[in-house]
Amino acid sequence: MSNQELIDLVKSYEAKKKYGLVWESDHSKEILVQDPHQYFPILTENISKRIFENPVQNNHFLIEGENYHALSVLQYTHSNSVDVIYIDPPYNTGNKDFKYNDSFVQKEDSYRHSKWLNFISKRLRLSKSLLKNDGIIFISVDDNEIAQLRLLCDDIFGETNFLACFIWEKKRKASNLDATVRGITEYILAYGRSQARSIVHPLDIVEDDKPYPFYNSGNGRGVLEFPPGLTFSSLEDGIYSPAEYKAKRTLVKLLDKVTIENSINKKSFKLEGEWRYSQKWLDNAILKNEEIVFKGTDFKPYWINRDPNRSKKMKTLLNYENYQIGTNEDGNEELFTLVGENDFSFPKPTSLIKALISATTNSKDKCVVLDFFAGSGTTGDAVLQLNLEDRGNRQFILVTNNEEEICTAITFPRLQKLLKSSKGNMNYFSVDFLNKSLNSDEMKIRLMDNCVDLLCFKEGIFNEIEISNDNYKIYQNMDRLLGIYNSFDYSDLHKFKNQLDKLDGKKKVYIFTFDNEGLNPNDLLNWNDIEIESIPQKILEVIGEINAY
């Protein structure tokens, strides 16, 4: 090595972080099928797969394509707009589940973890900028990469923005195929865009200040008092581990014998939640004079409240026992019911995704849910089920490739069937590409000719009005209007403005210009109450910068 090479090598080592995750990124770079140096990603809608059943509901979106390119496009269309991200990336077990640079990564590969980290890190960095300030990302992972992923997410999202590591019971019993320890659990990491604003409603919570009223009766026994008007809810309410379920059954038998009424107004009510107790306390519980009495004063039961309106007074028990919220077996049964025989491996159950989405504080009518490892479409299924249950208007954006026709043969048919029955809407997009040009104006023209679907997707407006012509198009969705003037011939600009003036609603307009500085104000006199944005310079800047690596 030359002196300069040695100096550069020393500097590179000195520049590396002293603490954190380091991997061999130079020896295992990801090679995308469509080289970002040569191709510019856009979106094209497949009109034949458009589903429109309800004019007052949000449109959901399914994007077919490589998720890195789709995330690049979303930087322009949905920056800081997503409430919840759930992803179930490949687990990198070495058992043909993670394909990198067109070949499966083997367990013996010395760069196995580096390849996975290269793959996931770029996508997570892009996803962060899509989240709202109070947005949350949930990531499923197993033992193979949990340690690496935790350090990576600390680096990308910030260690202080870590919210929880949930343990999920993925199957009811261990498999004989497990080589050594037979595991039945996986993990879900939860991170917020900003800890101060990202809130997860506790899946299991306990009051911060004190347990439920408990006192020493003075005769050596502890007495648990019930609030006036309490009637105990059924055993099936709540989520329990097998041990809790057995103990719960015993406790319910005791409580069923107790009748407690409000002595003043004689009204009863159902208190959502469950009692938190130790088996030792349960063994010492005695029913006496319509009170649950137990020996000793150190066995203190806690009331676990599941009311989201009280979340500020609660704290999340992050190390709570395994959550039994559906299993992979349940996911397989759901998928078989909707699409029949298929070769899809280990789909997550909708109940799991529903629980995660419900745990966030986002409005049911304005919540955007993104899954860019959508696979069989479980996240979309979960969103649609939640909307039916609480009459919400959540919106999903799903991204999946079409390897082995998964998108066209499994994901789309599943969602199509669900949307038809639930009267919902969905647009089907494909990631397409434009050849890059060294000539700036030529590249702008190429993008101008191919940006209409992209802008409709960005605004969520797709119903074209017949008054459109070759130089401009106008779309409408209830009280919202989208105008696109995609021509460098401005002869119809005045006509375009007159057509917009005839229409009522909130108006957003995109107008093509070669000028990087934007539109000439003299061309836009008296364009009142219309939000105007020039294209395509901003599109080139946002997506182009990402695809320049």
- At 221-250, the pLDDT tens digits run 333 333 333 333 333 333 333 344 444 444
Please say whether the dihedral angle defined by the alpha carbons of residues 382, 385, 390 and 395, taken in this order, is positive or negative: positive
Are β-strands 39-45 and 425-435 bridged in parallel, bridged antiparallel, or unpaired? antiparallel
Which pair of structure tokens corresponds to residue 15? 């520049």
Q: In what helix (H) or strand (E) does residue 244 lie, and over which residues does it extend? A: helix 242-255
Is the pLDDT at 399 greater than 80? The verdict is yes
Is 48 a residue whose pLDDT tops 60? yes
pLDDT for 468 equals: 78
Q: DSSP label at 313?
A: G
**342 pLDDT more than 80:** no
Min mean pLDDT across 162-176, 193-207, 344-358 is at: 193-207
Predicted pLDDT of residue 412: 95
Rounded Cα distance, 230 and 250, in Å: 19
Structure tokens at 87: 């992803």
Contacts of 348 (CB under 8 A, 6+ apart): 88, 140, 326, 328, 331, 378
Question: Cα–Cα distances in Å, from 274 out to 30, 239, 253, 277, 288?
Answer: 49, 9, 14, 10, 21
CA atoms of 134 and 542, how far apart (whole Å)? 23
Q: What is the pLDDT of residue 303?
A: 39
Q: Which amino acid is at 288?
A: K
Give the pTM.
0.74
* Type of residue at 201: H
DSSP H or E segment with residue 122: helix 112-130
Q: Please give the Cα distance from 430 to 453 (Å, whole number).
A: 10
- Angle, alpha carbons 246-249-253 (nearest 5°): 150
In the predicted structure, residue 47 carries a pLDDT above the cut 70: yes
422-462 residue pLDDT tens: 899 999 999 999 999 888 899 999 999 999 999 999 999 99
Assess whether pLDDT exceeds 80 at residue 284.
Answer: no
CA–CA dist 192, 137 (Å, integer): 6
Query: How confident is the model at residue 329, as a pLDDT?
Result: 57
User: Which range has the top average pLDDT, 26-30, 97-101, 120-124, 488-492?
Assistant: 120-124
pLDDT tens sequence across 498-515: 999 999 999 999 999 988
Query: What count of other Cβ atoms lies within 10 Å of the Cβ of residue 547?
Result: 22
Residues 6+ apart with CB under 8 A from 54: 423, 424, 425
Average pLDDT over residues 256-264: 31
What is the per-residue pLDDT for 224?
Answer: 37
- Checking if the pLDDT of 532 tops 70, the result is yes
Q: Residue 173 has what pLDDT?
A: 57
- Of 352 and 247, which is predicted with more confidence? 352
Q: Which of 54-63, 392-401, 535-544: highest mean pLDDT?
A: 392-401
pLDDT of residue 121: 95
Using the 8-state DSSP alphabet, how is residue 237 labeled? S
Is the model more confident about 454 or about 357? 454
Decide: 135 and 82 in contact? Cβ < 8 Å.
yes
Q: Which of 101-110, 208-217, 248-257, 334-343 is predicted least confidently?
A: 208-217
CA 231 – CA 492 distance, rounded (Å) = 71
Can you give the pLDDT at residue 31?
85
Report the pLDDT value the prediction gives residue 460, as an integer from 0 to 100.
Answer: 95
Query: Is residue 6 within 8 Å of residue 404, measured between CB atoms?
Result: no
Strand partners, 61: 397, 427
* pLDDT in the model for residue 168: 78
Q: Domain 15-203+319-434: state its class.
A: alpha beta
Contact 411, 377 (CB under 8 A): yes
Query: pLDDT class for 63, splitting at 50, 70, 90?
Result: very high
Q: How far apart are CA 295 and CA 313, in angstroms?
A: 30
Domain ranges, ordered by start, for the chain: 15-203+319-434, 209-313, 437-546
With CA atoms as reference, report the closest residue to 454 among 13, 104, 40.
40
The tokens for 216 are 């020493």
- Residue 214 confidence (pLDDT) above 50: no
| C-alpha dist (Å) from residue 532 to 199, 265, 488 | 35, 61, 16
Rg of the chain (C-alpha set): 28
pLDDT of residue 178: 53
Q: Compute the CA torsion angle 148, 150, 152, 157 (nearest 10 deg).
A: 170
Question: CA–CA separation, 449 vs 467, rounded Å?
Answer: 19
Mean of the pLDDT values across residues 258-274? 32
Share of the chain above pLDDT 90, in %: 41
Residue 62: partners with Cβ closer than 8 Å, 6 or more residues away: 374, 377, 380, 398, 400, 407, 411, 412, 415, 426, 427, 428, 429
Q: Which residue has the higher pLDDT, 15 or 63?
A: 63
Q: What are phi and psi of 375, to 5 degrees?
A: 55, -120
Q: What is the pLDDT of residue 544?
A: 76
> Position 337: which residue type?
T
Q: Give which of 206, 173, 182 is closest to 276, Cα–Cα.
A: 206
The predicted structure's pLDDT at residue 522: 75
Q: Cα(24)–Cα(504) distance, rounded to whole angstroms?
A: 57
C-alpha to C-alpha distance for 300 and 85, rounded to whole angstroms:
38
Task: Write the CA distances from 480 to 115, 458, 461, 508, integer angstroms.
Answer: 45, 13, 8, 8
Inter-CA distances, 405 with 26, 293, 342, 419, Å: 32, 62, 11, 20
How confident is the model at residue 325, as a pLDDT? 61
Q: Which helix (H) or strand (E) holds 39?
A: strand 39-45
Q: What is the mean pLDDT of the chain?
A: 75
- Pair type for strands 314-316 and 185-192: unpaired
